[in-house]
Amino acid sequence: MAAHPGARDGAEFAATAAGARPAATSPHPATDQSPLILSGATVVLPTGTVKDGRVIVDGTRIVGSAPENAQVIDVTNHWLVPGFVDIHNHGGGGASFTSGTVDDVLKGIRTHQSHGTTTLVASTVTGDMDFLAQRAGLLSELAEQGDIAGIHFEGPFISPCRKGAHAENLLRHPDPAEVRKLVDAARGQAKMVTLATELPGGIDSVRLLTEQGVIAAIGHTDATYEQTVEAIDAGATVATHLFNAMPQIGHRAPGPIAALLEDERITVELINDGTHLHPAALQLAFHHAAAPRVAFITDAMDAAGFGDGRYLLGPLEVEVSEGVARLVEGGSIAGSTLTLDRAFKRAVTVDRLPVEDVVAAISANPARLLGMSDRIGTLEPGKDADLVLLDHQFDLKGVMRRGEWVVDPQLG
């Protein structure tokens, strides 16, 4: 396999000393979580990319030295990268996180896990406040069990001018008392709320969320440049799917995009499916925000990993044709059918981004936003054994979550 530029030679892993590797045994994983050495891959670490490296797994964690009874799996000519972290995802596998049963939600989670997403925040769409509070209760139980990493409320506190695939009759101003109602209903599991911060109550709600340790995200907004700067100064730290559902950049009225790209306090979400963004827009974001400030998301809806057809996104009917989701009425793009393995491959093979930058955007950066970088997002001893195995063409060949194979290694 051709090494990625900047890759280093040697069987190294983090603080693990280089040296001769044990002879490879069975290419198939153990089923009892016995210690494993994944050997021979190109491994993407926080310190750089290592050729002919190894990752050692003991139980649910990555470790720095190999137990004597470790099984060796030879993954030569593959890449090992951290498990993907999706902070904006509405469903998959035919199931909705907004309206499905617990079993439906679990089905959607498993669908995305099979595509490399080992950590997922469940996103809702605009609905009645009481209904959203009820959904928050259901989703918070799954978060407490560790099935999801928390809840993202996208709506109802968004602009009717930039509503996208949200029901206009259910939109409302971001009154801090109502924002607090949803946060409280999530029982400590609210991770992010998307707001049109220019609306009445928007800035006060940003301050409230910041005080509560919840990410205030600017999105579905008609804000000016100046209004966006005010929201960032109040504590907003994320741009919800940058470029989408917000005014375009103008040379006299630069709008929110310019403010979000230029401020180092903001992490920008990008949907890299080839539909939501022109490749030049993606490059613009990486150029101005730089890799440490980009988070790849799916914004996936029910059809992700499932197929074309008719679906509901909240109360709105969606037609998915050739993998593109649009509202039946009006034709607005309605989320995506993206999975993060496809976003990864596109970023490297089409957009020609460095693998290390893609790994940061799809794993390390969203983990940091969630306050979980001590556990996930990078391949380091002590962290959860969440990893993705890719072949030399960046096709997914295996997924491990907390030391268990979600997708068994396919090594040919």
Are 220 and 245 spatial neighbours (Cβ–Cβ below 8 Å)? yes
Give the span between the Cα atoms of 401 and 386, in whole angstroms.
4
Stretch (H or E) spanning 107: helix 102-113
- Between strands 151-154 and 117-124, the pairing is parallel
Backbone φ, ψ for residue 350 (5° rounding): -100, -50
Query: Hey, what are 355's tokens?
Result: 């693998």
Give the span between the Cα atoms of 165 and 184, in whole angstroms.
26
Helix (H, G, I), strand (E, B) or coil at 372: coil
Assess whether 299 carries a catalytic annotation.
yes
**Which residue out of 222, 263, 273, 299 is catalytically annotated?**
299
Query: Hey, what are 153's tokens?
Result: 């409320």
Q: Closest by alpha carbon to 394, among 334, 352, 338?
A: 352
Which residues are within 8 A (CB) of 181 and not within 5 positions of it... i.e. 6 or more apart?
A: 129, 133
Are 397 and 389 spatial neighbours (Cβ–Cβ below 8 Å)? yes
Residue 179 half-sphere exposure toward CB, CA atoms < 13 A: 33
Give the span between the Cα atoms of 55 and 40, in whole angstroms.
9
Which residues are within 8 A (CB) of 357 and not within 5 positions of it... i.e. 6 or more apart?
A: 286, 291, 294
Give the span between the Cα atoms of 128 and 125, in whole angstroms.
10
Q: Which residues are catalytic?
A: 299
